[in-house]
Structures are given as structure tokens and as C-alpha cells.
Chains A and B, each alone.
Chain A
Amino acid sequence: MLKCENLRKTYLNKTAVDDISVTIEKGKIYALLGPNGSGKTTFMKMAAGLVKPTGGEILYKDAPIGIVSKSEVAYMSTEPYFYSFMTVGGVGKYYGEFFGDFDMDLFKSLLAEMELDAEEKVTHLSSGMAAKLKVAVTIARKAKLYLLDEPLNGIDLIARGHIIKAVLRAASEDSTIVISSHLVDELEAIVDSVIFIKNGRSVIAGDAEKIREQRGKSIVELYKEVYS
């Protein structure tokens, strides 16, 4: 579904992604793991079409990132990004107008589940509520590929359960989910595959169960070993 070969992104004075070569397959849940500044966000933004690679190649269904991929890839940024004049309901309306796969009924039910008021202005939301809105509006798309950058950031412990439940609801044989997070222990139970990113490079990638068997360690233990 998503294929990267020697992917690279450099800015004026920094290399954010040095060499990422991974293949992301249909119907799986991936954990994209790495510390702050390792290149996870830049990688996701390249897959979403927000950042253009400096070198290498990234293809969605064997075609360059573009209009088709944007219509099928749902990206959730870690930072707040909604227009400041919008209300919670207005964000859903915006997505509904531009994304053909957006399910308004699902969005409304997610809002109810997360106790978000559709009339509330996005600028009045707390960081936790804003995070929930981002998850709700992203998961309400019936996308083929979900890229969720730190979806559990700023979410309280109880709400995390709702988020993970919503994410699992989006998972299917036809869709793929890539989640980046520092909360490795929360993800370990739900992911099929893992990708470890260190200093802009993919250092370990593969089936989570196979990696656990080969290394004789849990993903959490492996995380500590790779990044210590």
C-alpha cells in the first residue's frame, strides 16, 4: 500500500529523515516508534503529502503521493491545525465537504462518545478535548490508510481507552493504520507490526510477534534497548 525506498528529507540545517525503506501493507496496524526528533512526524507528513522528500521515493499504491493518495489517506497531526474560526461541528462539516469518505454519522457518534459539544469553538477547547476532536474527525473518514501522529498525547487515561477503541473500529482488512506514540506499552497489545525509527533511519521493521520471538523481548523492552 505504501512503499518507501531510501527516503530522505533535509532542511536548511538539519536532516529529519536520512534513509527510510519500509513497505506498509494493507489490513494491518503498525506502531511507528522512536524518540522525539527521530523522524516519525516527517515520515508521516511525507506520506500525507504535506512534506516533499529531498531524496528517495515514496509511493502510495505504486503511484506518487498526490490527489488520489490524499483522498484515501487520513492524516492526524500531533499539533492543533484547525482553522481558528471553526466550531467542533464546523470541522466535521469541512471534512465532509472535501473528503468523499467522511462519515458524518460516525463523526457525530464519536463526538458524543468523547463528550464534545458541536457548538464549541475549537479555540475554546482544552488540549485534551482538541486531541479528541482530531482523533474523531480523522477516524470518521473511511480511509484506506490512517496516519495517526501521537493520538494519545494529552488524553487522560480513561479517554485513551475510548481512543484505542475508536482506532480499532477503523481497522479492517481494507484499511491500514500507522500509529506513532511514546506510549509503547499501550500500543503493544493492539499492533500487528512495528517500525523503529532512529536518527531518521528505519532500524527495525516487521511483524511484532515475529520480532518478539526472534529477540526474546517485548516491544517495550526492545524500545528501551534500541533507544537507551
Chain B
Amino acid sequence: MLKLMKYEFRKQAFSKLIIAVTLAAMLVLYAVMLIRGNADSAGITIGFIGMAMFIAVIFVAFECLSTYSKDLKTKQSYMLFMLPKSPRSILLSKILASAVQVIAILAVFTVVMFICTAAFVARFDDIVAFINDLLDILFNAKLSDIINIRIVLRGIILTFTLWLFLVTLALFVTTLANTVMNGSKFMTLVSVIAYFVFSIIIDKIESAIAYCLLGDTVGGGLYLLVCTVFYFIVDIALFFATSWLIDKRLSV
């Protein structure tokens, strides 16, 4: 699994280089703004870094799909499907590699933005007061006064489950299209249409189930729970369906 993931990282290395170079350029610009004492521009640059983080996460989250599509369309597919590895482990390595990269991007950008904010405060405000306030929050305030852990956890789990749904649905639809329409010039178009059709159908099913269980209630903890469990089950089903297609039907 780890070896498969290693080569997934390697296949997607170029985009990380682009992200790194872009971030480096923004940091250089930020450093210049700080040195020149231009607080407004420095603040705007931090905002741009935040936007870049958002774009990078979206891109990386779905890059596994473009890599998989390329795996299926080119002869480089032989390098993957000749291996004595089960379709499940191949798929799982792709999903895990994507998840690890998303987390890494989030972590790196978060640290960078924290450092940039601290530098901003040090340059244009009272850094000692900032540190004292931070220490006060960390050691004296209860965490529950600042954030509701349960809501945050629910949000993270639901976000992850929904992201997983988008990825596993795309992997399924891509595999299905390649299985049924291998070599057809309409394959990509049909994949995209099928993706939206399946998304809508699954969403309708989820709404129907939520209505059966909870009535007209929309939102709230219980609704989120139903939503999370439903999409988690769909994720598992799509994963195994894709594995089956690769094992029994897909030709490269």
C-alpha cells in the first residue's frame, strides 16, 4: 500500500512544485511588503495566501481523479494494472494519497499563515501583547469557551465523508465509462454527464431517507448524523463497486 502511495505522490509531484513555487513567490512579496512597512498590502497578501490555500486544496483533492483518468487512457496503465495487487489496494492507495496530500497542504498553509500573521503583528503591532494574549488563551481559557468541539468534529467528519463521496463517485464513473466505452471519443463527456446524474439521484435518495426518518426536520445534529452515515455507506458501496469493475470488466 505504501509503495503504491509513493508512486501516486510521484505521479502528482509536478503540481506540488507549482504550489510550492507560487507560495514562495507570495512569501517573497509578503516579506517585501513587511520590510517596506506597507501594512495594507501585507494584509492583502495574507488574504491571497489564504485564497491560494483554498485553491490548492481543491485542486489536490481532485488531482487523484485526473491522474486516474490518465492511468486508464494511456499505456502507462500497464505499470499499475500489471502489478500483483488487488483492485481494492490500488484504489485505496489513490484515495489515501489524495487525503494525505490535502492534509499536508492544509498543514503547510496553516503554519505559513500563522507565521505571516505573527510577523505582521511583530512589524505593525505589539508582539509582546500578542504573545501574552495567546498564552492567556492557551493556558487559562477553557477550550469549550472558544470552540464547540462536538460541532467541529461533526463538521470535519461530514466534510471528509462528502469529499470521499465526490472522489469515489468520480472514480466509479470514470471506471464505468472506460469499461463500457473504451476508446470512444465521447467517453469523457458521458463520464461528466453520468457524474452529475448519479450525484442528483443519490442526493434525492438521501433526502427521501432523511424525510422518512426525521420528517420535515432539516439541519440539526440528528440530520447531520443521518447525512454522514448515508454518505459513508454510499462511499463504501461505490468503492467496492469500482473495485469489482476493475477486477472483472475493465480493460486497459
Interfacial residues, chain A to chain B (CB-CB below 8 A): 9, 11-12, 45, 48-52, 66-68, 70-71, 75, 77, 79-85, 94, 97-99
Task: Please give 19 more A-B residue pairs, beta carbons under 8 A apart, in addition to A81-B78, A94-B7.
Answer: A11-B182, A12-B183, A48-B82, A49-B81, A50-B78, A50-B82, A52-B248, A52-B249, A70-B84, A75-B78, A75-B82, A77-B75, A81-B79, A82-B76, A83-B7, A94-B79, A97-B3, A98-B84, A99-B84
Among A9, A12, A84, point to the contact of B184 (Cβ < 8 A).
A12
When distances are taken between beta carbons in the complex, the residues of chain B under 8 Å from A81 are: 75-79
Q: List 19 A-B pairs, Cβ < 8 Å.
A: A11-B182, A12-B181, A48-B82, A49-B81, A50-B77, A50-B252, A51-B251, A52-B250, A70-B82, A75-B82, A81-B75, A81-B77, A83-B7, A83-B10, A83-B11, A85-B13, A94-B79, A97-B3, A98-B83
Within the complex, the shortest CB–CB distance from B12 to chain A, in Å, comes to 10
Which chain B residues in 1-36 approach chain A with CB under 8 Å? 3, 7, 10-11, 13
When distances are taken between beta carbons in the complex, the residues of chain B under 8 Å from A51 are: 251-252
**Which 6 residue pairs are nearest across A and B when measured between Cβ atoms?**
A71-B84, A51-B251, A70-B84, A81-B75, A81-B78, A79-B75
When distances are taken between beta carbons in the complex, the residues of chain B under 8 Å from A70 are: 82-84
Among B10, B11, B84, B250, point to the contact of A68 (Cβ < 8 A).
B84
Which chain B residues in 168-190 approach chain A with CB under 8 Å? 181-184
When distances are taken between beta carbons in the complex, the residues of chain B under 8 Å from A80 are: 75
User: Considering only CB atoms, which chain B residue lies closest to A91 in the complex?
Assistant: B79
Given the interface pairs A12-B184, A98-B84, the reply to whether A83 lies near B78 with Cβ below 8 Å is no
Within the complex, the shortest CB–CB distance from A69 to chain B, in Å, comes to 8
* Cα(A81)–Cα(B81), bound, Å: 12
Is the C-beta of B86 less than 8 angstroms from some C-beta in chain A? yes
When distances are taken between beta carbons in the complex, the residues of chain B under 8 Å from A66 are: 247
When distances are taken between beta carbons in the complex, the residues of chain A under 8 Å from B85 are: 67, 98
When distances are taken between beta carbons in the complex, the residues of chain B under 8 Å from A94 are: 7, 79
Q: Does more than half of chain A's interface fall in helix, strand or loop, or is it mixed? A: loop
Using a Cβ cutoff of 8 Å, how many contacts connect chains A and B?
63
Task: Check B76 against A83 for contact (C-beta < 8 Å).
Answer: yes
When distances are taken between beta carbons in the complex, the residues of chain B under 8 Å from A67 are: 84-86
Within the complex, the shortest CB–CB distance from B83 to chain A, in Å, comes to 5
User: Considering only CB atoms, which chain A residue lies closest to B247 in the complex?
Assistant: A66
Within the complex, the shortest CB–CB distance from A154 to chain B, in Å, comes to 15
* Cα(A80)–Cα(B81), bound, Å: 15
Write the B221-252 contact mask toward A (1 if CB under 8 angstroms, else 0): 00000000000000000000000000111111
* Cα(A144)–Cα(B7), bound, Å: 26
Within the complex, the shortest CB–CB distance from B97 to chain A, in Å, comes to 15
Given the interface pairs A79-B75, A98-B85, the reply to whether A50 lies near B183 with Cβ below 8 Å is no
When distances are taken between beta carbons in the complex, the residues of chain A under 8 Å from B249 are: 52
* Cα(A42)–Cα(B7), bound, Å: 27
User: Considering only CB atoms, which chain A residue lies closest to B10 in the complex?
Assistant: A85
When distances are taken between beta carbons in the complex, the residues of chain A under 8 Å from B248 are: 52
Within the complex, the shortest CB–CB distance from B212 to chain A, in Å, comes to 39
* Cα(A68)–Cα(B83), bound, Å: 10
User: Considering only CB atoms, which chain B residue lies closest to A80 in the complex?
Assistant: B75
User: Considering only CB atoms, which chain B residue lies closest to A78 in the complex?
Assistant: B75
When distances are taken between beta carbons in the complex, the residues of chain B under 8 Å from A68 are: 84
Task: Check A98 against B3 for contact (C-beta < 8 Å).
Answer: yes
Within the complex, the shortest CB–CB distance from A81 to chain B, in Å, comes to 4
* Cα(A97)–Cα(B85), bound, Å: 12
User: Considering only CB atoms, which chain A residue lies closest to B86 in the complex?
Assistant: A67
When distances are taken between beta carbons in the complex, the residues of chain B under 8 Å from A82 are: 76, 79
Within the complex, the shortest CB–CB distance from A85 to chain B, in Å, comes to 6
User: Considering only CB atoms, which chain A residue lies closest to B246 in the complex?
Assistant: A52
* Cα(A160)–Cα(B247), bound, Å: 36
Within the complex, the shortest CB–CB distance from B68 to chain A, in Å, comes to 14
* Cα(A48)–Cα(B78), bound, Å: 10
* Cα(A149)–Cα(B166), bound, Å: 39
When distances are taken between beta carbons in the complex, the residues of chain B under 8 Å from A48 are: 82
Within the complex, the shortest CB–CB distance from A14 to chain B, in Å, comes to 9
* Cα(A83)–Cα(B183), bound, Å: 21
When distances are taken between beta carbons in the complex, the residues of chain A under 8 Å from B181 are: 12
* Cα(A99)–Cα(B82), bound, Å: 10
Within the complex, the shortest CB–CB distance from A142 to chain B, in Å, comes to 14
* Cα(A70)–Cα(B79), bound, Å: 12
When distances are taken between beta carbons in the complex, the residues of chain A under 8 Å from B86 are: 67
